């Protein structure tokens, strides 16, 4: 009986070690005050080697673009669209098209007009991450960015 229990436990441990969840992108957030009435939100993606996330604009039949949605608030207003540096543009054999993407790190910026003092900006971001072997399903991340 002990041998059977040991064997079953061994099988479960091996199966669990192969089912690890991949998280090749880590997000961090900050805000930088421009003046009394305006701040810039900084949404930084740190991407593991050999992985990449896609830009905010990709062809229709392509991968999921990185997108941002900010919850409405009476404490602030968005000032323009979310900006990012120019992406790497290259042919992606997975999608059979040229797409824009980012490797290593990228910082997205959103300007915000402040109506109230020290609000917290809340929202969600959606992104898709791929490497040369696989793409992970699009992921949605909720964020809260305090503005000091």
Give the number of other Cβ atoms within 10 Å of residue 19's Cβ: 7
Residue 48 pLDDT more than 80? yes
Residue 20 pLDDT more than 90? no
Rounded to whole angstroms, how far apart are CA atoms 43 and 122? 12
Q: What is the CATH number of the domain that holds 123?
A: 2.60.40.1250
Residue 4 domain flag: no
Residue 15 domain flag: no
Q: What is the largest CA-CA distance in the chain?
A: 72
pLDDT tens sequence across 81-136 = 999 999 999 999 889 999 999 999 999 999 999 998 889 999 999 999 999 999 99
Q: What's the predicted TM-score (pTM) here?
A: 0.84
């Amino acid at each position: 009986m002990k041998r059977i229990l040991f064997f079953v436990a061994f099988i479960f441990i091996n199966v669990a070690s192969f089912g690890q969840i991949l998280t090749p992108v880590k997000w961090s957030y900050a805000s930088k005050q421009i003046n009394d009435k305006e701040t810039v939100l900084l949404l930084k993606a740190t991407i593991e080697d050999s992985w990449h996330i896609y830009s905010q604009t990709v062809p229709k039949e392509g991968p999921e673009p990185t997108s941002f949605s900010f919850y409405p608030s009476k404490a602030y207003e968005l000032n323009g669209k979310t900006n990012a540096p120019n992406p790497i543009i290259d042919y992606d054999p997975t999608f059979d098209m040229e797409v824009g993407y980012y490797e290593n790190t990228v910082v997205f910026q959103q300007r915000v007009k402040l109506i109230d003092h020290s609000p917290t900006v809340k929202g969600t971001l959606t992104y898709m991450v791929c490497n040369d072997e696989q793409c992970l399903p699009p992921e949605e991340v909720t964020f809260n960015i305090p503005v000091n």
